[in-house]
């Protein structure tokens, strides 16, 4: 356990940051899940409204991923990996309906 004032403060700051990062990651996972759901919805019933929802959810997820990387919540390579997963899912949802 912490013995002096500065180490007690570091423990408190670490706990605060852990909770903030946890909330950020949770929001990020929710946005990614929404994007994947929008992809499957667009694959089932393609249309302009579904495509707009899909693009909006992808943009929101990309934004949140970039902010998470910037804040240090996740590593840069992890952020790129997640964005790549989303892009591939969106592309596979859109491409078959076009051709």
Is pLDDT at 97 greater than 60 in this prediction? Answer: no
Considering all CA atoms of the chain, what is the largest pairwise distance in Å, rounded to the nearest integer?
A: 67
pLDDT digits (tens, 9 = 90+) for 35-83: 999 999 998 888 899 999 999 999 999 999 999 999 999 999 999 999 9
Q: Among 1.20.58.110, 1.10.630.10, 3.40.50.720, 3.40.50.970, what is the CATH number of 12-98?
A: 1.20.58.110
Is pLDDT at 16 greater than 70 in this prediction? Answer: yes
Cβ-based burial of 51 (10 A; exposed 0-12, middle 13-18, buried ≥19): middle
Give residue limits of the domains in the chain: 12-98
pTM of full prediction above 0.75: yes
Is pLDDT at 15 greater than 90 in this prediction? Answer: yes
């Amino acid at each position: 356990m912490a013995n002096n004032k500065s180490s007690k403060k570091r423990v408190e700051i670490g706990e605060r940051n852990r909770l903030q990062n946890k909330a950020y990651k949770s929001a990020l996972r929710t946005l990614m899940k929404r994007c994947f759901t929008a992809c499957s919805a667009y694959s089932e019933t393609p249309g302009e409204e579904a495509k707009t929802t899909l693009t909006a959810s992808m943009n929101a997820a990309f934004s949140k991923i970039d902010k998470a990387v910037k804040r240090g919540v996740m590593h840069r390579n992890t952020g790129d990996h997640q964005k790549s997963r989303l892009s591939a899912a969106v592309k596979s949802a859109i491409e078959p309906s076009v051709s």
